[in-house]
Structures are given as structure tokens and as C-alpha cells.
Structure 1
Amino acid sequence: MILPNKLFSYNDSILSKLPSILFVLDTPKSPVEILRLCRNIKGPVELVDILDCLYALKKIRLNDKGEIQRC
């Protein structure tokens, strides 16, 4: 997980990408759909880090279909 520090600025960290994921989740979506819609995410590893962070903050959850939705 890349957090802002002396080496990485806020814009390079995953914290700057949290709002873009939440904005896309107006309806439940699969991780593949989220990755396609968010152009500022570099790859699936970064997406998993962002989703882990959002889940820990209780901002997203998985529904019965395995899709990600906002809380």
C-alpha cells in the first residue's frame, strides 16, 4: 500500500484515488468494471490496495452477487 511520505506525494498515493472509486460506485459494480472506469488506477494490484483501504474504513461492502457497493 502506497501512502504519502517523503518519497511519494499525496497525488501518487492511494489516498488520492479513494474519492474516484466512491464516485464510480453509484450502483454496485464488479472489480473489473471499476478498473475499466477509473483511468487513474495503474493496475489490479493498486485497485486491491484501494479496495482494502475503503473496506477497512467501512465505506464499501460486498453484496450477495459478489459486487462492490457503497455503504
Structure 2
Amino acid sequence: MDVRSYNEKYLGEKKPTLCPRCGISTLDKTPARNSVSRHEEGIYICSSCGTDEAMRDYSGTTLNIDQWVVTHW
């Protein structure tokens, strides 16, 4: 399943939705309370992963989407 499909399918459900990037933290049911990926347009990730993306951008060590947890589910 690709990341965009994952966000569209699970973000509105009543059960907790895991972050597609780390697979550990849960996403808030209100999309505006989550971070939006800097590298994948329109994809919501947890705030911890949002911070990690910012730090990786600063250091020049970005994490490719094929390294996200959801791509291995």
C-alpha cells in the first residue's frame, strides 16, 4: 500500500492510526494537528517525524519514502 492511500484510508477511522513514517506514534484524528511531510505532498505524519524531517533537512540526510515503515507493511 502506498503512503497516500494509507493516509486516505485510515486517518478518518475511529481506531488509532499509526504514523506511516515511523509506525510507532499515532496520528491525531484532526489532520491539522499532525505534521505534513516536507517530502511527500499531502501526507500526514506524527509530530515527532515532522521534527525528524526538519532536522534531517538541516543536516542534509533525508529519509526516502521507501524507508518509511508503511512501505514495508
TM-score per shorter chain, which class? Answer: under 0.3
| Greater per-residue helix proportion | 1
What's the TM-score once normalised by structure 1's chain length? 0.27
Instruction: Give the structure-2-normalised TM-score.
Output: 0.27
